[in-house]
Amino acid sequence: MALDRQTVAKRYGKALFEVVQEKDVRSDVLLELAEIKKIIDAEPKFITFMTSPSIKQEEKLAMIKNITDGASEVTTNLLDMLFDYGRIANLEDVIDEFNRLNDEFEKTVRVKVTTAIELDEDQKEKLASSFANVVGAEKVLVDSVIDPDIIGGVVMQSESCVYDGSIKSRIESIKRLLIK
């Protein structure tokens, strides 16, 4: 029975997180996985290359060796194992799950902040601090997005929480009340 992407990511991500905790190399592996994720983002055809039946195994193994050159034993073993078990296509999902578990461990929340205009650093820090208090996080990482369609205000979205204080949503709410 084939496992879906989410199940594979959860199993491998959890196992990886437990291993790095046990070996006390969490921060090193976190940095290495961030670099691998940059490679995947920069080269979207990487996964296609690694899963293509027309590419020789030796070339794929050479690519993995090139990526893991200088990496920790844990990171190298992860890529080797994913490749050997035919799960290299799930690499990005596994990294995402590992990052999610790490954020949970560090009580960190990632939030997408959408505004109509660019925010300065002080505004971002104030929003992050307020959001941290609401969700009980020790640290909030802000990903700022500009969307003029929201007209004004702010929309904050994390994995488990959405706060929509945009003028656009307030106008929509007034419209719904007027239509009733």
Cα-trace Rg, the chain: 21
User: 52-95, pLDDT tens digit by residue?
Assistant: 999 999 999 999 999 999 999 999 999 999 999 999 999 999 99
* Alpha-carbon span 108 to 141, nearest angstrom: 7
Interval 125-152: pLDDT, tens? 999 999 999 888 999 999 999 999 999 9
0.85 cut: is pTM over it? no
Residues 99 and 112 in one domain: no
Count the Cβ atoms, other than its own, within 10 Å of residue 122.
8
> Do 84 and 113 have their domain in common?
no
C-alpha dist (Å) from residue 178 to 74, 130, 150, 171, 175: 60, 32, 20, 11, 5
Q: Are strands 139-146 and 162-164 parallel, antiparallel or unpaired?
A: unpaired
Task: Give the chain's domain count.
Answer: 2
Residues 131 and 118 in one domain: yes
Residues 38 and 97 in one domain: yes
CA distances from 119 to 90, 91, 114 (A): 35, 34, 10
pLDDT tens-digit map of 86-135: 999 999 999 999 999 999 999 999 999 999 999 999 999 999 999 999 88
CATH number where 48 lies: 1.10.520.20
